[in-house]
Amino acid sequence: MTAASQKSTLIDNIGLLVTPGAERTGAAVVIEDGVIAWIGDSRSSVGSAPAADERIDAAGRCVIPGFVDTHSHLMFAGDRAGEFEARMAGQSYSAGGIRSTVTATRAASDSELLTNATRLVAEMRAQGTTTVEIKSGYGLTIGDESRALRLASTLTRETTYLGAHVVPVEFAGDVSGYVDLVTGAMLDACAPHARWIDVFCEDGAFDVDQARAILSAGIARGLGARMHSGQLGESGGVKLAVELGAAAVDHCTFLSDSDVDALASGNTVATLLPGVEFSTRQPYPDARRLLDSGVTVAIATDCNPGSSYTSSMPFCIAVAVRDMGMTPAEALHAATAGAAAALRRDDIGAIEPGKRADLVILDAPTYVHLAYRPGVPLVHRVLSSR
Ligand code: NIG
Ligand code: FE
């Protein structure tokens, strides 16, 4: 990784420069103080590009925007390899597994939690991710949720309060008591460390009325709304997300026609999480149906120890192309510009003058190789404005 700030850098000799809606061969890019300052033709750039302190020779490689991973649960301890093994032997995934990670997370020290999350962020960046969202959701007490967010906010500005991940055992039989906590004292403690609020709206977690109360309380506190829904079955969650103006509704594996219509007419991004279906043997979401209806689609890893323990956006792109009906160009768009929309950010997700200089030089002539060469480390170099 290269820190691109505090100096100017010319990336020359780019074989293929890819940004949403445009591909350009033989390009050059100049970065100044962590921002894209100029894009032009590499052959004339010695004469016409602004002077730069440093020159990087891309040697004909493909350059793409840094990946934006809008959905991760990195604040956890322990792993659930045994649960994965049992699933591969035929057991099905259920939301209940979350509680075993809650027990391990509560028992972990601050430094264990931060070390684990830092390791995963480093894995992500090595695979081309330059922006990551991180959720709480494995603490489920005032102290454990707020510390997860306090620690996460040292790693990213995209922090999400997910006190409503699942009802903890100590509130079994008193869901409404837990919703009161999530919308009251826990929100008070967490809101200062969070940009977003999220809820798992699904059978076994929270229903639509509870999700409405939870997201509305967060919105009233100035947080942006996002939602988990449609992972295990259809629910009214997707329509609620659109109605409340949520930035994104994530999973979207099970959607009715009216859910798709709502997404197409609203301003909520549908975020698909290919690692989940891969790791739970659920059916893949139908990205084609969403794209053909005009819905903005994002792809994210959902990195977590239960349903999707991958940190790799290239892996998710490969699965989206192979099994979800996306073209390589659509998958790249979903992992960059679509994902930026899911975070309501206009400074990332594209290589254009004025955007942050978050970009990836691939060891490949085209981004198509991200799906064509699955599992191969194709990231040559990551430049990040941070
Ligand atoms: O996005 N769906 C809810 N939360 C996670 C799973 C968390 C877990 O199984 O630990 C998800 O898939
Ligand atoms: Fe999730």
pLDDT by 10-residue block (mean), the chain, 386 residues = 66 95 94 96 70 94 98 97 95 88 98 98 98 98 98 98 97 96 98 98 95 98 98 94 98 97 98 98 97 98 98 98 97 98 98 98 98 98 89
Count CB neighbours of 267 within 10 A.
12
- The predicted structure's pLDDT at residue 50: 79
Say if residues 114 and 79 touch (Cβ distance below 8 Å): no
How far apart CA 349 and CA 64 sit, in angstroms, is 9
Domains 2-66+350-384 and 67-342 equal at CATH topology level: no
- The predicted structure's pLDDT at residue 1: 43
Say if residues 300 and 316 touch (Cβ distance below 8 Å): yes
Q: How far is CA 67 from the centre of its chain?
A: 9
The reply to whether ligand 1 has any atom less than 6 angstroms from the CB of 228 is yes
- The predicted structure's pLDDT at residue 46: 57
Task: Indicate the top mutation candidate among 69, 70, 73 to test ligand 1's pocket, ranked by most ligand atoms within 8 A of CB.
Answer: 73
For ligand 2, the distance from its centroid to the CA atom of residue 197, given in whole angstroms, is 13
For ligand 1, the distance from its centroid to the CA atom of residue 303, given in whole angstroms, is 9
CATH-assigned architecture of domain 67-342: Alpha-Beta Barrel (3.20)
Which secondary-structure segment (H or E) carries 308?
none
The reply to whether ligand 1 has any atom less than 6 angstroms from the CB of 231 is yes
Query: Residue with the nearest Cα to atom 1 of ligand 1?
Result: 302
Domain ranges for the chain: 2-66+350-384, 67-342
The reply to whether ligand 1 has any atom less than 6 angstroms from the CB of 302 is yes
Task: Indicate the top mutation candidate among 165, 202, 252 to test ligand 1's pocket, ranked by most ligand atoms within 8 A of CB.
Answer: 165
For ligand 2, the distance from its centroid to the CA atom of residue 373, given in whole angstroms, is 27
- The predicted structure's pLDDT at residue 155: 98
Nearest listed ligand to the Cα of residue 309: 1
The one-letter amino acid at 268? T
Q: CA dist 257 to 29, 235, 261, 292, 315, Å?
A: 43, 12, 6, 13, 29
The reply to whether ligand 1 has any atom less than 6 angstroms from the CB of 200 is yes
- CATH class, domain 2-66+350-384, is mainly beta
- The predicted structure's pLDDT at residue 6: 63
Does pTM top 0.85 for this prediction? Answer: yes
The one-letter amino acid at 192? P
> Cα dihedral sign for 105, 106, 111, 117?
positive
User: Given the CA of residue 228, which atom of ligand 1 is nearest to it?
Assistant: 2
User: Given the CA of residue 93, which atom of ligand 1 is nearest to it?
Assistant: 9
- The predicted structure's pLDDT at residue 5: 44
